[in-house]
Amino acid sequence: MDGALRDEALRAIEGIFGDRMKRGPVGEEGTRGEALASVSPVNAHEVELLAKVAGRYSLPIVALGAGTAFDAPGAPGNGILVRFDLMRGVRIRGGEELWVRAEPGALWLELENNLSTHGWGLSVYPTSAPRATVGGWLATDGLGVGSFEYGWLSENVLSADVVLAGGGHRTLRGEELRPFVGPGKTAGDGAGIVVEATLRTRRADADVPFGAAFDEPEDLVGAVASLHEAGVPLWHLAFLDPGMVRARGLGDGYLLFGAYPEERAPVVEGALRETFGSHRGRILPAAESYRVWGRDSSRWRLPGRPRPRRNARSSPWRSSRRRSSPRETVRPTPPSRAPPPGPGRYFCWPSTPKRRAGRDGSE
Ligand SMILES: Cc1cc2nc3c(=O)[nH]c(=O)nc-3n(C[C@H](O)[C@H](O)[C@H](O)COP(=O)(O)OP(=O)(O)OC[C@H]3O[C@@H](n4cnc5c(N)ncnc54)[C@H](O)[C@@H]3O)c2cc1C
C-alpha cells in the first residue's frame, strides 16, 4: 500500500476513534512485529466501522487479548491492532437459571467472581482466568477448570456476536459458532472479531474440593483412567506434575485434584476413596485440597467456590458471598495481576473427549 493510501486509511480510522487510536509503528505486549496503529473501541458498532474501513483498504485487523496464548498473535506491518480494554462489560441475567453475557475484554476471573456472588459459576474457565480475556479464550478454545464435566469452551458458548471481515455483525448460535470459536478461527484469519458472548453457567455454591498425592506417574494415570471409566460425576479433574507441585510449595510428587458438587458426595466420596486406595494415592485433608486449588490465596481470588465442607462457617469466602437479585448489570472490575506461570505442567481433562478427540488441552 502506498503512503498516500495508508494515510487516507489512518485518517478514516482516526475519524472513528479520535484519541483512542494510537499511530504506529506499534508493538503491543503479546504480539510479534509492529502494526500501523492500535485502536480501543468502546462498543461493537465501532468495531464494525473499523472492519468496514479495514476491508476497504485491505488492512488486516488483529484482536488483542491479554497475550497469554502460547501462539501470540502477529502484528503485520500494515495491520491494525484492536485492544478491548474499554469493552469489559459483564451482564448477569436470569431467574431460576443464570446466564452471563460478556464483552471481549472482560477477564474470566471477573465473570467468575460476579457469578459467585449469586452462588453460580462458569461451567468452564481457563486456569489463566486472572488475566485471560473472554475474546482471547474464545479465539483459541480449550479445556479448563470444569472441563471434566462440561468439555471444551466451544461446547459452553450459548451465543456469540461476531463482527465479520468487511463490517457485518452476526449473532451466532450452536453449529454456526463452529467456524468462529477455536484456534485461528476468528480475527487471526480475517473471519471475524468476537464482540460479545453468552456463556453457560452452573450452580456452584457447594463445590467440594478433593486431592490425592502420588509418588509414581503410573499410579496417577491409573487413577485417572479408573475415575474416567467408572464415570465418577466430578465437575473438575486436573493434575500438577512434580515441578509445579514444588513451585507452589505443595511438597513433592504428583497431585491429582478436582471438585464436585456437594449433592453428589454420596456417590463420589466412596469412588474417590476406592480409586485412590487401589492406586497407592494418599488422600489430602480438606485444607490441603484447598491449597492445591490455590484459590484461597491472594493469587486467585475466586470467593465463593469451592468452599470447604467442614468449618464452612469460618470460611473467608462464605462471608464475602452476598445474595442479591440475579437481575442486574455488573460493572467491570480493574484487572488483576496474575503471577507468571511457574515451571511444571497442569492438565485438565474432559471426562468424554467428544468431538475434540485427539487434543489433550495440555499447557
Ligand atoms: C498460566 C496460563 C494458564 C493457561 N490456562 C489455560 C487453560 O486452562 N486452558 C486453555 O485452553 N488455555 C490456557 N492457557 C492459554 C491461554 O491463556 C488461553 O488461550 C487464553 O484464554 C487466551 O486469552 P488471552 O486474552 O490472553 O488472548 P491472547 O493471547 O491475547 O489472544 C489469543 C488469540 O485470540 C485472538 N483474539 C483476542 N481477542 C479476540 C476477539 N475479541 N475476537 C477474535 N479474536 C480475538 C487473538 O488475536 C489471538 O489470536 C493458559 C495460559 C497461561 C499463560
Q: How confident is the model at residue 152 (pLDDT cuts 50, 70, 90)?
A: very high
pLDDT tens track for 87-128? 999 999 877 788 899 999 999 999 999 998 888 999 999 999
Average of per-residue pLDDT across 188-197: 77
For ligand 1, atom 37, name the residue with the nearest CA.
136
Ligand 1 probe mutation, 68, 84, 145, most atoms within 8 A of CB: 68
How confident is the model over 327-351, as a mean pLDDT? 41
Closest Cα to residue 82, out of 202, 192, 208? 192
Return the pLDDT at 181.
66
pLDDT score for 303 = 34
Which residue's CA lies nearest to atom 11 of ligand 1?
A: 142
The amino acid sitting at 44 is: A
pLDDT of residue 331: 31
User: Is the pLDDT confidence value at 184 over 80?
Assistant: no
pLDDT digits (tens, 9 = 90+) for 22-78: 987 766 555 556 789 999 999 999 999 999 999 999 999 989 999 998 776 566 667
Q: Is the pLDDT of residue 304 over 60?
A: no
pLDDT at 179: 73
| Topology classification of domain 3-83 | 3.30.43
End-to-end CA distance of the chain: 39
Query: What is the pLDDT at residue 266?
Result: 96
Ligand 1 centroid–CA 184 distance in Å is: 11
Residue 139 in contact with ligand 1 by CB distance below 6 A: yes
**pLDDT at residue 349, as a whole number:** 62
Mutation choice for ligand 1 from 42, 107, 128, CB with most ligand atoms inside 8 A: 128
pLDDT of residue 191: 66
Same fold across 90-203 and 207-320: no
SS3 37: strand
Beta-carbon neighbour count of residue 36 at 10 Å? Answer: 23
pLDDT value, residue 361:
34
What's this model's pTM, rounded to 2 decimal places? Answer: 0.82
Other residues' Cβ atoms within 10 Å of the Cβ of residue 90: 21
Residue of minimum CA distance from atom 3 in ligand 1: 128
What's the pLDDT at 140?
Answer: 86
Query: Cell numbers at residue 353, please?
Result: 473427549
Higher pLDDT, 176 or 185: 176
Cα dihedral 332→338→341→342 (10° resolution):
-150
Q: Where are the domains of the chain?
A: 3-83, 90-203, 207-320
Average pLDDT, the chain: 79
CATH T-level topology, domain 207-320: Alpha-Beta Plaits (3.30.70)
Is the predicted pLDDT of residue 339 greater than 90, yes or no? no
pLDDT higher than 70, residue 360? no
The pLDDT assigned to 24 comes to 77
Report pLDDT for 237: 95
Instruction: Give the pLDDT band (50/70/90) at residue 346.
Output: low
To which residue does cell 463490517 refer?
A: 167
Ligand 1 atom nearest to 195, measured from its CA: 41
> Which protein residue's CA is at the shortest distance from atom 19 of ligand 1?
69
Percentage of the chain exceeding pLDDT 70 = 73
Phi, psi for residue 120 in degrees, rounded to 5 = -115, 175
* Residue with CA closest to ligand 1 atom 16: 69
Task: Give residue 147's pLDDT.
Answer: 94
The tens digit of pLDDT for each residue in 283-296 reads: 999 888 887 876 43
CATH number for 90-203: choose from 3.40.50.720, 3.40.190.10, 3.60.10.10, 3.30.465.10.
3.30.465.10
Of 201-205, 275-279, 335-339, give the lowest mean pLDDT range. 335-339
Is the per-residue pLDDT at 203 higher than 70? yes
Distances from the Cα of 298 to the Cα of 80, 151, 179, 214, 258, angstroms: 36, 28, 38, 27, 20
Return the best residue to mutate from 28, 46, 137 for the ligand 1 pocket (most ligand atoms within 8 A of CB). 137
Say what the pLDDT of residue 177 is: 80
Q: What is the share, in percent, of the chain residues with pLDDT greater than 90? A: 53
Q: Which residue puts its alpha carbon closest to atom 2 of ligand 1? A: 128
- 165 pLDDT above the threshold of 90: no
Does the Cβ of 160 fall within 6 Å of ligand 1?
no
The SS3 call for residue 26 is: strand
> If you measure from the C-alpha of residue 124 to the centroid of ligand 1, how many angstroms do you get, rounded to a whole number?
14
Other Cβ atoms within 10 Å of 303 Cβ, number: 19
Mean pLDDT of all residues in 298-319:
33
